[in-house]
Amino acid sequence: MITCDYASVDDTQWPLSIGLPSTYNAALEFVDHNVKRGWGERVALIDDRGLYSYQALSQRVNRCGNVLRDIGIGAGDRILICLPDGIEFVTVFWAAVKIGAVAVPLNTRLTEEDYRALVSDSGARLVVTDTHLAVPFQHLAKSVSFVCEVIVVDERSALSTSLSGRMAEASNELRAWPTDPEDIAFWLYTSGSTGRPKGVMHRHQALIHTAVLFGQSVLRVSPEDVTFSAAKMHFAYGLGNAMTFPFYAGATSIVTSHRPTAEHIVACLCEHQPTLFFAVPTLYAQLLTTFEKIPKAALGRLRLCVSAGEALPADVARRWVDRCGVDIIDGLGTTEMLQTFLSNRPGEIRFGTSGKPVPGYTLRLVDRTGAKVSPGNVGALEVKGMSAAVGYWNQPTKTQETFVGEWVRTGDQYVEDDEGFYHYRGRRDDMLKVGGIWVSPTEVESVLLRHPLVADVAVVGRRTKEGLEKPCAFVVVKDDVQVSTKLKDDLKALTRSQLAIYKYPRWIKFIDQLPRTSTGKIQRYRLHDMFPE
């Protein structure tokens, strides 16, 4: 009988060297391994309803896996997981991985049309959801040309088969499917900030590489740590923060099903007092705006804060450290690379930058011909590393555009300085060409954000009557600020005084809020429909 083994990590080398057996299942690495090494009684997860040990989690995963097999789910079958963050999500994810199926987490805040597209695109055999979303999924499952069942996790649901009820009768023992490290373990759909979402296919081996290269080498997650991620687990960032990093180390993860409002996040920080906190820049800014003083209880054991998802403004980072007294490190990761590959690190932080390459990853900046650019010049960022996805499901053209040999094109523009720090210069497709010269939207935005009345801003290109592209700024002012023509003039004057003349925004429009994805990224394409007259 074929059995699965664990990864081996050589900590005498730098970067850390990871060895994988020929038969490897990620669920064993991140769940069962903690029981095997005598940590079964350690708390693995705390959610809104209680806490769960690694032993309890392992048994839940096994019972769930047995139910999935009884339903008829086999190796390679896709399972859509549309559940809020909590024990059910964690259980179903690892159960799917353990039986060799493909876990596909979904955002719980999408529209029915969004779900229709995802069900159809994925060809899923099963949808696991809760009572609130069961009805639309049941309708969608009947409308597709393939067999797709729906099961709910709620114990007393009358809408569909109850997963909890069937798990209560299932065995606690489950042999892992003998997967290869190269086999697909899960997909993550991109947030679709520029159009149709893409199913990013990740291998079993991807998780261990992110856990070791970033979770261990940079964050130094230990069994004594308690992590709290405001980013949800259906995002690559949240998946690593809430499961990969803590479970690999035998640490404790805090998750919540609630929306990450500033008030709720602070309440969770006060109640659980984590040692590591993960969020996006937008949330850090909201916390600073909502709370003039972050409660001491929230910061009691906090040793490090982590930011990703979009570039962290230097001003927000400085204010966070000044007010909270806790370091915050900003970095860059993509769904295609699964987690962070470029980051500041404790003891080596440069505000306003994304830091330096994470050991174990190779980065390069290239121009539009593919030639490498020298430090100080803007280039398109490409990365290679063992956590890279194999491509996009059912989108060969997009796959060929993004995955080029060993390299993954991120679509981000960066400048590397003489000390090796990387400075974000916007998305490659967001770059404006003004008078034949490339202009970075983030450079203009960073100047506008220095104005004391500006809360948020996004700059995009707009064509003049002559067909020439010029910068247009969409500005959100702070609460109780009255917008005026004078304020527009002041903002234009500010940019003209600090930037080359061709970079200043010819138009400024005040709006209530910027359109963003659920991960906090600005949806610049939507701003093109909001141009001022």
pLDDT in tens, 145-191: 888 999 999 876 655 678 999 999 999 999 999 999 999 999 999 86
Are 277 and 330 members of one domain? yes
Structure confidence at residue 160 (pLDDT): 61
CB of 314 closer than 8 Å to CB of 351: yes
Instruction: Indicate the number of domains in the chain.
Output: 3
The CATH number for 147's domain is 3.40.50.980
d(C-alpha 510, C-alpha 473), whole Å: 8
Q: Which residue has the higher pLDDT, 438 or 56?
A: 56
The mean pLDDT value of the chain amounts to 93
Evaluate the CA torsion angle 170, 175, 178, 184 in order and state its sign: positive
Are 83 and 24 members of one domain? yes
In a domain, 41, yes or no: yes
Phi, psi of 457 (to 5 degrees): -160, 150
pLDDT greater than 50 at residue 194: no
Per-residue pLDDT tens for 329-343? Answer: 999 999 999 999 999
Label residue 485 by pLDDT band (50, 70, 90).
very high
Structure confidence at residue 150 (pLDDT): 92
Q: Which residue has the higher pLDDT, 467 or 482?
A: 482
Structure confidence at residue 191 (pLDDT): 60
Report CA 70 to chain centroid distance, whole Å: 32
The CATH number for 456's domain is 3.30.300.30
Structure confidence at residue 161 (pLDDT): 72
Label residue 124 by pLDDT band (50, 70, 90).
very high
Strand 356-357 with 340-343, pairing: antiparallel
Angle between helices 131-143 and 112-122 (to 10 degrees): 50
pLDDT greater than 60 at residue 195: no
In a domain, 88, yes or no: yes
CB of 407 closer than 8 Å to CB of 382: yes
pLDDT greater than 70 at residue 255: yes
- Give the three-class secondary structure for 345: strand
pLDDT greater than 70 at residue 507: yes
Average pLDDT, stretch 384-391?
Answer: 98
Are 165 and 294 members of one domain? no
In a domain, 295, yes or no: yes
Are 170 and 254 members of one domain? no
List own/partner pairs for 486-495 with CB under 8 A and 24 or more apart.
Answer: 487/453, 490/451, 491/448, 491/451, 491/454, 494/447, 494/448, 494/450, 494/451, 495/444, 495/447, 495/448
Per-residue pLDDT tens for 205-232? Answer: 999 999 999 999 999 999 999 999 999 9
In a domain, 473, yes or no: yes
Element (H, E) at 494: helix 485-498
CB of 38 closer than 8 Å to CB of 247: no
Lowest mean pLDDT among 67-71, 285-289, 461-465: 461-465
Cα separation values, 252 from 363, 462, 464, Å: 32, 48, 55
Average pLDDT, stretch 238-251?
Answer: 98
d(C-alpha 229, C-alpha 215), whole Å: 14
pLDDT greater than 50 at residue 269: yes
pTM of the prediction?
0.86
Evaluate the CA torsion angle 443, 445, 446, 451 in order and state its sign: positive
Structure confidence at residue 156 (pLDDT): 64
Residue numbers of the domain that contains 462: 433-530
Which position has the token pair 């610049």?
524
Domain boundary among 180, 203, 226: 203
Structure confidence at residue 2 (pLDDT): 61
Structure confidence at residue 492 (pLDDT): 96
Label residue 271 by pLDDT band (50, 70, 90).
very high
In 3D space, the residue among 393, 513, 518 whose CA is nearest the CA of residue 84 turns out to be 518
Q: What is the number of H-type helices and E-type strands within the chain?
A: 17, 29
Are 299 and 340 members of one domain? yes
pLDDT greater than 60 at residue 193: no
Structure confidence at residue 429 (pLDDT): 77
Which position has the token pair 């804060």?
305
Evaluate the CA torsion angle 358, 360, 361, 363 in order and state its sign: positive
Per-residue pLDDT tens for 407-419? Answer: 999 999 999 999 9
pLDDT greater than 60 at residue 143: yes
Are 166 and 230 members of one domain? no
